[in-house]
Amino acid sequence: MLISMVLLILLGVAAFGIDLNHQVLNKTRLQNAVDAAALAGAVAADENGDVVAAAAVATATLNNISASDGNSELTFDNSNTSVTFSLDRATFVDAASFTAPTGAYDVYVRVAVTDIGLTQFLSGLFGINKNISASALAGRSAGFVQSCNLTPIAMCGEPTGSAEDAWGYKPANYDPNVDTDPSLIHELKVGDQNNTDMGPGNFQLLDFGQGGGNSGAALVRDALSGAYNGCAAIGDTVTTKPGNSAGPVAQGLNVRLNDFSGPIKNDGTVLPDKYVREPDVLAQTDETYAGNLYYANYLQELSACQSGGASCDSSSYTGNSGLNGRRILRIPIVNCEESTGKTDFDVLGFGCFFLLQRVSNSGQSSVFGQFLY
């Protein structure tokens, strides 16, 4: 009898230990997630002052981290997640309520996640709460040089430019929420190696596995889908992945537009965007874009879908099966000068692009997107 009681006590202690370790591990993961989201939102707000876009970047960062391996219990939605902004670090409001002052000012971003419930092994029998919460605050700082949640694509920038003009990608007085112009559409990943300034063998794809031995097409597919949290910092060197990788590129990116025809399954682990309409005339290499979809149209039509407006294409609305921000790709902008024969490029900064359309899975497939900020 005594031995049985001792064994029962030992089993109880072991079970509590499992619960505690599980909670601490996921608490750390959650804190890392909100840190990355706040930083990404602050960088976006600092670059263009658009807090609506900054909130979308922060939300997309959380969603992409949630979709990565080991983070399945970190589920983020409007009920447990808030992205708010402040001018003085004292009073915070959401993006819709934020009013920018005239003149120079700093914006602070706070990301807070509350009461994420975790799997309980034994603690539930005793009524012990196993929810976790975390928050992070970020603002303008010279230390904002790193970004995570990156898409494994690089764009060549103007080395003499700056964050103010996004190294040549941001037109004067540009507002991505309103402006529509063919010059805003860029070939993010080329289908022909002769169409890039990176030099022979490069298609503007990056190898995020250069430091860990896990590289190649499979990692490109996972990273393009948002299931891999690649990071880089300004001044870092990123390594390109030679080859077109047409199939993996399409299989990874297209899930963001609700096309799960590749190895990635539509099981709720990796989700599409909430609105996946494509332009009536697709973007083509070396042709002026003539389609009817820009980010401004996307925002207007998505809002209509959520409010019952007439401009919504209901067949393109995924509703609760999708996530906001999945069509926004955060991409390193690199220095491609003297690029002949190179596979390593220095990071100038980062840009966000709106994924325009699905990618062909064969031949000289290209990826097209609209520069946002």
Rounded to the nearest 10 degrees, the angle between the axes of helix 2-48 and helix 51-67 is: 150
Of 85, 110, 139, the last residue of a domain is: 139
- 190: tokens are 């080329």
- Are 171 and 219 part of one and the same domain? yes
Q: Return the SS3 of 153.
A: strand
Of 139, 166, 201, the last residue of a domain is: 139
| 8-17 own/partner pairs: CB under 8 Å, 24+ apart | 12/122, 15/121, 15/122, 16/122, 16/123
Please tell me the distance from the alpha carbon of residue 133 to that of residue 249, in angstroms, as a whole number: 35
Angle at 264 between CA 246 and CA 239, to 5 degrees: 50
Contact 246, 361 (CB under 8 A): yes
Which pLDDT score is estimated for 212? 45
Please tell me the distance from the alpha carbon of residue 18 to that of residue 122, in angstroms, as a whole number: 9
- Are 232 and 159 part of one and the same domain? yes
- Are 177 and 114 part of one and the same domain? no
Please tell me the distance from the alpha carbon of residue 49 to that of residue 107, in angstroms, as a whole number: 8
- 99: tokens are 């009013």
pLDDT in tens, the chain (373 residues): 667 666 666 666 555 656 566 776 777 788 888 888 888 888 888 776 788 888 998 998 888 888 776 777 888 888 889 999 988 878 899 988 888 776 667 788 999 998 888 776 665 555 566 788 888 888 764 334 567 778 889 999 999 888 888 899 999 888 888 999 999 999 998 877 777 778 777 888 888 764 444 456 677 788 888 876 667 778 888 888 887 888 889 999 999 999 998 888 888 888 899 999 999 999 998 899 999 999 999 999 998 998 888 999 999 999 888 888 899 998 999 998 866 556 888 999 889 999 999 998 877 789 999 999 8
- Are 15 and 154 part of one and the same domain? no
Burial of residue 223 (CB within 10 Å: 0-12, 13-18, 19+) is buried
Ranges assigned E (strand) in 100-174:
108-117, 131-139, 146-150, 155-157
Range of the domain at 80: 2-139
Burial of residue 347 (CB within 10 Å: 0-12, 13-18, 19+) is buried
- Are 135 and 160 part of one and the same domain? no
- Are 234 and 110 part of one and the same domain? no
- Are 129 and 180 part of one and the same domain? no
- Are 158 and 275 part of one and the same domain? yes
H helix runs in 214-277, sequence order: 217-225, 246-253
Please tell me the distance from the alpha carbon of residue 251 to that of residue 358, in angstroms, as a whole number: 10
- Are 27 and 153 part of one and the same domain? no
Which pLDDT score is estimated for 163? 82
- Are 65 and 167 part of one and the same domain? no
Angle at 83 between CA 79 and CA 85, to 5 degrees: 145
- Are 326 and 233 part of one and the same domain? yes
- Are 346 and 328 part of one and the same domain? yes
Which pLDDT score is estimated for 247? 87
3-state helix, strand, coil in the chain (%, to 5): 35, 20, 45
Please tell me the distance from the alpha carbon of residue 214 to that of residue 211, in angstroms, as a whole number: 8
Instruction: Choose among 286, 336, 343, 330: nearest CA to 156.
Output: 336
Of 104, 139, 174, the last residue of a domain is: 139
Number of domains comprising the chain: 2
